[in-house]
Amino acid sequence: MVKVLLPIGDAAEAMDTMYPYFRIREDGYQAVVAGPDKRVYPLVMHEIPPGWDITRESPSYHLAAEIAFRDVNPEEYAGLFITGGRAPEYLRYDKDLIRIVKHFFDSGKPVAVVCHGVEIVAAADVIRDKQIATVAKCQFDAELSGGIYVNNGCVISGNMVSGRTWHDQHLYMPVFMKMIAESLK
């Protein structure tokens, strides 16, 4: 079965993660969840309540990583989905995850990035001169690493498709799924 990798960590955003997890499976692919270690990770829910200027974080579902980043052979995967939430703040320091991300960009395999996931591709130095969507408060991360921030729900730049938040999933997920299907022909 064709495999798509979904890296997560503590405080990955639930909606950013769970919809793609099931959408990938819906198209008949195996969604493989990876983390710094093979264990269960708590997801969080992010929302900006009416009248607030910042995001409120609440506990959400749990999701098990079936493989640790250090054990991932990226050549075995057809696509990479990089989720958002708070997890990318510390996952971007994981050398094995950065190795995985660089493989996907070096090989031109499909990559999807949402929300704070930009922090991971920025740390991997793979978005220089590429257009990328992300949540507005991460525009700085995109531009500081040489990316071109675009405030749009679905931005395609080479082998990468990106969206701002989970609110854009209906825009970028069909594109990501089509990219995977076309790459397998």
pLDDT tens sequence for the chain (185 residues): 999 999 999 999 999 999 999 999 999 999 999 999 999 999 999 988 999 988 899 999 999 999 999 999 999 999 999 999 999 999 999 999 999 999 999 999 999 999 999 999 999 999 999 999 999 999 999 999 999 999 999 999 999 999 999 999 999 999 999 999 999 99
Cβ burial of 20 (10 Å; 0-12, 13-18, 19+) is buried
What is the extent of the structural domain holding 70?
3-183
Tell me the β-bridge partners of 160: 111, 157
Q: What is the pLDDT of residue 173?
A: 98
Q: Beta-carbon neighbour count of residue 113 at 10 Å?
A: 32
Q: What is the pLDDT of residue 175?
A: 98
The amino acid present at 101, given as its one-letter code, is: V
Which tokens is 175 given?
A: 């594109």
CATH of the domain at 95: 3.40.50.880
Q: What is the pLDDT of residue 128?
A: 98
Q: What is the pLDDT of residue 75?
A: 98
Q: What is the pTM of this model?
A: 0.96
Distance from C-alpha of 168 to C-alpha of 16, rounded to nearest angstrom: 10
8 A C-beta contact, residue 175 and residue 155: no
Number of domains forming the structure of the chain: 1
| Closest among 168, 176, 127, 173 to 151, alpha carbons compared | 168
Cβ burial of 115 (10 Å; 0-12, 13-18, 19+) is buried
